[in-house]
């Protein structure tokens, strides 16, 4: 009986993944927080307004968005209602090769490294604000001309 218990415990130790070191945000939390920030920005909400709607301070919203604090299931449900998205939205476009155990991510992963987890330019605040401003232009002809101008400027900058 002792041999069986010892081998079982050894097997459990081999299978058990180590946690991330203290102070290192989980990459999944960073991704989910980035999606909260993306949607909040697209809707034109400040961190303070979102915090008021959820019953938190803007500092707590900042921590969620950076991935410094994990968002619990009930809070994620609440955020999905306020931000008018499905819960699955927060997990969309998550990198397939994302690792969440020690030794599988770069130690010292911080907010500055979040850019490597969000290579999509559509997730950038500047892009979201540009899209919001674009759709506030009520005249479709003006919007179309701005669109054409933007495309021609982009083409000129890459030498097309």
Residue whose token pair is 């955020």: 79
Specify the pLDDT at position 128: 80
Task: Write out the CATH class of domain 2-119.
Answer: mainly alpha
Averaging pLDDT over each range in 5-14, 15-24, 33-42, which range is the top one? 33-42
Q: What is the pTM of this model?
A: 0.62
Alpha-carbon span 13 to 113, nearest angstrom: 31
What value, to the nearest 5°, has the Cα angle with vertex 95 and ends 35 and 71? 40
Domain boundaries defined on the chain = 2-119, 124-160
**Nearest to residue 65, comparing CAs of 16, 19, 29?**
29
How many other C-beta atoms are found inside a 10 Å radius of the C-beta of residue 132? 13
Q: Quick check: helix, strand or coil at residue 44?
A: coil
Give the residue carrying structure tokens 């697209």: 42
What are the tens digits of pLDDT across the range 24-73?
Answer: 788 889 999 999 999 998 888 999 999 999 999 999 999 999 999 999 99
Tell me how far apart the alpha carbons of residues 102 and 19 are, in angstroms, rounded to a whole number.
6
Distance CA 11, CA 6 (A): 9
């Amino acid at each position: 009986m002792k041999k069986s218990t010892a081998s079982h415990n050894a097997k459990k130790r081999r299978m058990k993944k180590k946690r991330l070191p203290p102070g290192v945000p989980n990459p999944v939390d960073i991704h989910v927080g980035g999606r909260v920030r993306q949607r909040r920005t697209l809707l034109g909400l400040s961190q303070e307004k979102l915090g008021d709607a959820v019953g938190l301070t803007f500092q707590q919203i900042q921590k969620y968005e950076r991935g410094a604090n994990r968002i619990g299931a009930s809070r994620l449900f609440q955020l999905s209602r306020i931000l008018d998205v499905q819960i699955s939205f927060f997990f969309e476009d998550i990198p397939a090769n994302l690792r969440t155990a020690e030794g599988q991510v770069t130690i010292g992963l911080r907010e500055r490294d979040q850019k490597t987890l969000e290579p999509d330019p559509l997730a950038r605040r500047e892009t979201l604000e540009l899209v919001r401003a674009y759709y506030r232009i009520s005249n479709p002809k003006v919007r179309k001309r701005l669109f054409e101008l933007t495309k021609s400027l982009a083409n000129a900058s890459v030498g097309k």
